[in-house]
């Protein structure tokens, strides 16, 4: 049915996410782009679940749960970094270099 358009949208969303992670410098934006990629994957799961069984839909819940946890921890870290450095520009946060 709507499989092909769904996968296309998913691919576009995922690529946007990757591009965002690669190109943007603000940690919050990168964080959002990661969420975008997760949701693109979720869309793929749901679209394919119609043909391959309900397991895909169940997996979406797991992804959402992990994403929620990740958002909680990740935002807390970002908050701590901002308090410490007064910036979220990742180019300035490069202490761990060789």
Partner 1 sequence: MPAAPLSLLWVVPALPLLGFAVNGTLALGRPGAKGAVSIVGVGTLALAFAASAFAVIEFAKLHAAAPLVFPYWEWLPVGELQVGFALQLDQLSAVMILVVTGVGALIHVFSIGYMHEDPGYARYFAYLNLFVFFMLILVLGANFPVMFVGWEGVGLCSYLLIGFWFNERINADAGRKAFIVNRIGDFGFLVAMLLIFWRIGSLDFGPVFARAPAAFAPGSAVVTAITLFLFLGCTGKSAQIPLYTWLPDAMQGPTPVSALIHAATMVTAGVYLVARCGVLFALSPLGSAAVAGVGALTALFAATIALKQWDIKRVLAYSTISQLGYMFIGVGTGAYAAGIFHLATHAFFKALLFLGSGSVIHAMHRAYHATHAHDDAQDMRNMGGLARHLPWTAGLMWIATLAIAGIPPFAGFFSKDEILGAAFAEAEVRPLWYVFWAMGMAAALLTAFYMTRLMRYTFHGPNRTGDREREHLREAPWMMTAPLVVLGALTVLGGGLNVPRLFGGGAFLEHWLEPVTSAAARLHPVVDTARTTEWALVVAAVLVAALGMFAAFRLLRPAALVPARLAPAETGLARLLWKKWYVDELYDAIVVRPIVWISREVLWKIVDARLVDGLLVNGSAAVSRALGWMGSRLQTGEVGSYVMLFVIGVLAVLGAAVR
Instruction: Please report whether residue 98 would count as binding partner 1 according to CB under 8 A.
Output: yes
89 φ/ψ angles, rounded to the nearest 5 degrees: -75, 115
DSSP 92: G
Helix ranges (H only) for the chain are 3-23, 27-52, 55-85
Distance CA 17, CA 40 (A): 9
The only residue of 5, 12, 25, 55 in contact with partner 1, by rule CB under 8 A = 25
Question: Given the complex with partner 1, which of 7 and 90 has the nearer CB atom?
Answer: 90
**Residue choice 16, 18, 29, 32 for contact with partner 1 (CB under 8 A):** 18
Q: Is 21 one of the binding residues for partner 1 (CB under 8 A)?
A: yes
Among 2, 51, 83, 94, binds partner 1 (CB under 8 A): 94
Q: Which is nearer to partner 1, 25 or 85 (CB)?
A: 25
Token pair in block for residue 90:
């990742």
Count the residues in the chain: 98
User: Which residues sit opposite 26 in a β-bridge?
Assistant: 89
Asked if 54 is part of the footprint of partner 1 (rule: CB under 8 A), the reply reads no
> Considering beta carbons, is residue 84 or 97 the nearer one to partner 1?
97
């Amino acid at each position: 049915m709507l499989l092909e358009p769904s996968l296309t949208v998913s691919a576009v969303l995922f690529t946007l996410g990757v591009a965002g992670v690669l190109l943007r410098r603000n940690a919050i934006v990168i964080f959002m782009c990661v969420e975008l990629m997760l949701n693109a994957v979720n869309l793929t799961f749901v679209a394919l679940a119609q043909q391959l069984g309900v397991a895909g839909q169940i997996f979406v819940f797991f992804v959402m749960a992990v994403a929620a946890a990740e958002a909680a921890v990740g935002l807390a870290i970002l908050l701590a970094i901002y308090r410490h450095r007064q910036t979220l520009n990742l180019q300035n946060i490069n202490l761990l270099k060789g």
